[in-house]
């Protein structure tokens, strides 16, 4: 299993609630069936403000590649991107491997499928 962490910092003039409304109603409904494995979607209260952090589980890098490729062929997702991308100032991404003692290893394999 791998976990992808994605960190988006929105422009200061962007309303977090508006971004989340668009994403939840137009993007998430497409991502969940294609990507699966959503572990969490968070926004910051302390630290870097106007920031979103989301975690996604995949079986491995090839599973991630295949799923993200399929997502980027989906017209509904591309339409959502046209709305939310201009709201994002920076994007970070990292792939993490859980340690042998990480509690996440006990999650059902289906979560990463």
> Using one digit for the tens of pLDDT, what is the confidence trace for 4-55?
999 999 999 999 999 999 999 999 999 999 999 999 999 999 999 999 999 9
Q: Could you tell me the CA-to-CA distances from 22 to 19, 31, 63 in Å, in that order?
A: 5, 13, 27
Partners of 55 in the β-ladder: 5, 40
Exposed / middle / buried, residue 5 (Cβ in 10 Å: 0-12, 13-18, 19+): middle
What is residue 60's predicted lDDT score, i.e. its pLDDT?
94
pLDDT in the model for residue 105: 79
Q: What is the pLDDT of residues 56-84, one digit of tens each?
A: 999 999 999 999 999 999 999 999 999 99
- Nearby residues of 14 by Cβ (< 8 Å), 6 or more positions away: 50, 87
What is the distance between the alpha carbons of residues 9 and 48, in angstroms, rounded to a whole number?
8
Q: What is the band of 110 on the pLDDT scale with cuts at 50, 70, 90?
A: very low
Confidence of residue 108 (pLDDT cuts 50, 70, 90): low
Which pTM was predicted? 0.89
């Amino acid at each position: 299993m791998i976990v992808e962490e994605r960190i988006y910092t929105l422009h200061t003039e962007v309303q977090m609630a508006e971004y989340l409304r668009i994403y939840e109603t137009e993007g998430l409904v497409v991502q969940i069936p294609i990507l699966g494995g959503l572990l969490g979607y968070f926004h910051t209260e302390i630290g870097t403000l106007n920031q979103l952090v989301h975690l996604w589980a995949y079986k491995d890098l090839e599973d991630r590649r295949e799923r993200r490729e399929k997502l980027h062929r989906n017209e509904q997702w591309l339409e959502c991107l046209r709305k939310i991308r201009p709201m994002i100032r920076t994007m970070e991404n990292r792939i993490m491997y859980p340690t042998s003692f990480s509690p996440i290893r006990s999650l059902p394999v289906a979560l990463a499928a």
